[in-house]
Structure 1
Amino acid sequence: MSTQSNLLSPADEYPIHQTPEPIAVCGSDPNFYDRFWFNAYSADGQSLVAVAMGLYPNLNVLDAAVSVIHDGVQRSVFASRLLNLDRMATEVAPIKVEILEPLNKLKVTLAKSEHGLSAELVFAGRAPPIQEPRFTWRMGTRTIMDLTRMSQSLTCEGWIEVAVNG
């Protein structure tokens, strides 16, 4: 019989387990993370938006960032909160990532805030995602990186509002 505390989260309701452990258990590496990362450029190449959201279950942290370059000026919003075991709650105010169609369509929302940026962007796959080969980097016997990524070419539709200081 185990003496560990309750590690169940909403994700445990879904039949997605790959071990006999709750979803919250993801190994012993304190730096293990799962991440969303998006980049979109305007057609003329003059503007850029970049979005990142990282879930660090063993550190109990959810981080997110949105950065916009427009008219040669970069503006960024960073946010962080406790993860509290719920790896499916992908919102850290004012940034939210919603999976609309798994492996095909995601929505990123940046709520209006004191940062002068807001956005609603839908990223849709132009082709199916590609699983990149597993990458392992070791320094002697110590594992520095061990990862597998999914890459996908996407379209981006929506809007970004940038407050301009007068």
Structure 2
Amino acid sequence: MKPTPLDEYPIHQTPLPMARVASSDRNFYDRCYFNAHNGTDDFMLIAGAGIYPNLGVQDAFLLARSGDQQYAVRKSDALDTRPMSHQVGSFRVEVIEPLRQLRLINDSPDDVVQCDLVWTQSFPAVLEQPHQLIHRNRPTLDAQRFAQVGAWSGIVVLDGAERTLDPSTATGSRDRSWGVRPSGDAEPPGRNGDEPPADGFWWLYVPFRFETFAVIVIVQEDPDGFRTLNDATRVFADGRVEQLGWPRIEIDYRPGTRHPERCRLHLTTPKGEALVMEIETITGIALHIGGGYGGDSEWSHGQWQGRDFTKSTTYDLTDPDTASKTPWGVSDHVAVATCAGERGVGLFEHASLGRHDPTGFADYFSVAP
């Protein structure tokens, strides 16, 4: 092991070089995520990149939705030293000004999704509560994340068709997270093969941009409704952050499915005043259809694909095989909302898998009436 350029900076927190992480857990990761949309039509773009030092892997992906087509680009390569930025092949993220402005680029003419975009913050970043999941006394998720909403400018090319994003209408959120979460190839099942873990997973993540404030809500619940993560904040342009209590959530699912069509978030200000977000979804992307998230049958984040790996795929969402996979993972929905007399646009990220007592789902095959 040798020193790396990062070792020149006064940023160490352990008596280790920056190329070596403090944890020997194979699942240690460091990632970024972006979404972009207009809040009015069927277009959506999602991008992400991650490094996995203990697996020696780095990867990135782009997902885009237009009409009934979902486009996916994924890239992977070896990771030998800790980089100063995310770059995998033709995909890269440039930090123009930390916490204020970033550039997202994928300039390979062979990829089904290309872009050259600049994201500019609308409100300050919010450091979320720690994300944790404990299974049989072992942390399977132990991570920190910050989130932020902003506006986009630049060009996106989908399968040869160019689209311009204007910051007056194109918005989106981003996040940075690091820590431990399942990564790479699956571990041997061991005891879990005979005694599976919890029979359900329920997740809601709602970052929204309004005219004078942003709202960021995260809720994670066990099958019985026990809340393992509760974080609801409102952030203003001057940096003030309000906690918004213990959200009460009402989701209207499309009959015969678990597809969320509308949601009412009942929040509470520090003064005890009710604050309600009325949300309606527009379009969305299934993160496990080409994006490498849980439930993706083709790949997973941190999985070794070989050096200089790249692949483009186009999915027809009306194809029965693809459509049958859509419910079995996390989906990111473009959504509009009203709150405190203002109209907002943002992300409605949701997963409802298996049993969830508060919504009346008894098992993996339960759906809304």
Indicate whether the TM-score tops 0.5: yes
Q: Give the match for residue 132 of structure 1.
A: 128
| Amino acid aligned to 1:146 | D
SS for the counterpart of 1:11 is helix
Is 1:145 equivalent to 2:141 in the alignment? yes
What per-residue deviation string (whole Å, max 9, x for no partner) do you get for residues 88-108 of structure 1?
142111211111111111111
Equivalence for 2:44: 48
1:28 aligns with 2:28: no
- 1:55-83 deviations in Å (ceiling 9; x for gaps): 11111111100111123311111000111
| 3-state SS of 1:12 partner | helix
Deviation at 1:164, TM superposition (A): 4.5
Aligned partners of 2:77 and 2:85: how far apart in 1? 11
- Give the Cα separation in 2 of the matches to 1:116 and 1:139: 39
| SS of 2:28 mapped into structure 1 | coil
Residues of 1 paired with 2:112 and 2:130: CA distance? 39
Provide the rounded CA distance (Å) in 2 between the counterparts of 1:70 and 1:136: 34
Separation of aligned partners in 1, 2:20 and 2:41:
42
Normalised by the size of structure 2, how large is the TM-score? 0.42
Give % identity: 32
Aligned residues of 1:38 and 1:52 also touching (Cα < 8 A): yes
Please give the alpha-carbon distance, in whole angstroms, between the structure 2 residues aligned to 1:85 and 1:44: 42
Residues 1-166 of structure 1 mapped to structure 2, 5 A cutoff: 5-6=1-2, 8-26=3-21, 27-164=23-160
Structure 2 portions without partners, runs of 5+: 162-369
Say which one has the larger Rg. Answer: 2
Amino acid in the other structure paired with 1:82? A
Contact 1:94 1:113 in 2 (8 A): no
Q: What is the DSSP-based 3-state SS (H/G/I as helix, E as strand, rest coil) of the residue aligned with 1:123?
A: strand
Residues 115-134 of structure 1 deviation map (CA, whole Å, 9 limit, x = unaligned): 23211011111111000011
Report how many residues are paired: 160
Give me the whole-angstrom Cα distance separating, in 2, the residues matched to 1:140 and 1:67.
35
Q: Distance in 1 between matches of 2:97 and 2:130?
A: 25
State how far apart, in whole Å, the 2-side matches of 1:29 and 1:49 are.
32
Name the SS of the counterpart of 2:6 in structure 1. Answer: helix
Q: Gaps (5+ residues) in structure 1? A: none
Stretches of 4+ aligned residues off by more than 3 angstroms? none
State the one-letter code of the partner of 1:13: E
* Matched-pair contact (CA < 8 Å) for 2:62–2:74: yes
What is the root-mean-square deviation in Å for CA atoms of aligned residues? 1.6
Q: Considering Cα pairs closer than 8 Å and 6+ residues apart, tell me whether 1 or 2 has the greater RCO.
A: 2
CA contact (8 A) 2:124 2:148 kept: yes
Letter in 2 for 1:143: P
Q: Distance in 2 between matches of 1:10 and 1:82?
A: 18
CA distance in 2, matches of 1:52, 1:36: 5
The question of whether the paired residues in 1 share the 8 Å contact of 2:48 and 2:62 is answered with yes
Q: Distance in 1 between the 2:93 and 2:160 partners?
A: 25
1:135 deviates by: 2.1
Query: Hey, what's the Cα distance between the residues in 2 that align with 1:142 and 1:80?
Result: 29
